Amino acid sequence: MKENLIKYILGIADNSLILGQRLSELCGHGPSLETDIALTNISLDLLGQTRSYFQYAAKLKGENTTEDDLAFLRKERQYLNALLVEQPNGDFAHTIVRQFLFDGFHLLFLEQLRTCADTQLAAIAEKSIKEVKYHFRFSSEWVKRLGDGTEESHEKMQVAINDLWIFTNELFLMTDAETAMHREGIGVDLESLRADYQEQISEIVEEATLQIPETKYWQKGGKQGIHSEQMGYILADMQYMQRAYPNMQW
């Protein structure tokens, strides 16, 4: 059970870690000062959540494992995040749509996780959900503003949804660790979130005068450690200091 619990925690944490890393790339590059600061704060929220998960996983793992080991010293195949969060920032439309599609899932996920049998995970979820409610409100408002904005902003938002929607199905696919933890009363039943997610996302997309594309093909693999070509670049940047100066401490 302990091995599956560690994998389960890492899967949750890696989503926040990689998305937080992606958003950190935008620091100083936002379309306005207010938006730049908001995205940076969301990144900091996600990285703060990541630390809580990694500290718990490191404690379970033992063997003098630290949160830095889990964040910076794993190989690409050992990261268990969904493909959606590792997609490049692209233009502002892609940044916002990626955030929006993940935030909708993340909020529903934490609402269930905070009632789980593992008190540590429940506490992290209870604290994190306050931040994620803001994340979802922020990204949703931008989706509506840009989707129902100018002809150019509408077109860019629709292109972003078309590009990123194919990554959303993976969010609800259960790994072996997730299935095992659900049986123990700890893990969230991801499939049970799907209907609420579809309804919630569709309502906002419709209000934004956008459309969810029809697709029979979905991208997956990240949760099993099989990532897109983007992941290597993320890790090369994120892990550089720790690998260049092993065991360094701030």
Assign residue 71 the CATH number of its domain. Answer: 1.20.1260.10
Full-model pTM: 0.94
Q: Are 135 and 85 spatial neighbours (Cβ–Cβ below 8 Å)? A: no
Would residue 249 count as lying in a domain? no
pLDDT > 90? residue 247: no
- Provide the number of structural domains found in the chain: 1
What contacts 24+ positions apart, CB below 8 Å, involve 163-166? Answer: 163/94, 164/84, 164/87, 164/94, 164/97, 164/98, 164/101, 165/101, 165/212, 165/213, 165/215, 166/215, 166/217, 166/218, 166/219
pLDDT single digits (tens) 152-187: 999 999 999 999 999 999 999 999 999 999 999 999
What average pLDDT does the chain have? 94
Question: Does residue 250 form part of some domain?
Answer: no
> Given a cut of 80, is residue 31 above it in pLDDT?
no
Say how many Å lie between the first and final Cα of the chain, rounded: 34
Average pLDDT over residues 94-118: 97
Over residues 122-159, the pLDDT tens digits come to 999 999 999 999 999 999 999 999 999 999 999 999 99
What is the spatial distance between Cα 108 and Cα 128, in angstroms, rounded to a whole number? Answer: 12
Name residue, tokens 């409100």: 137
In a domain, 166, yes or no: yes
Helix axes 119-147, 151-164, angle to 10 degrees: 140
Kindly state whether residue 121 falls inside one of the protein's structural domains.
yes
Q: Which domain holds residue 11?
A: 2-244
pLDDT of residue 243: 84
Task: Note the pLDDT of residue 200.
Answer: 97
> Has residue 151 been placed in a domain?
yes
Q: What is the per-residue pLDDT for 140?
A: 98
Mean pLDDT of 225-239: 94
Taking 70 as the threshold, does the pLDDT of residue 250 lie above it?
A: no
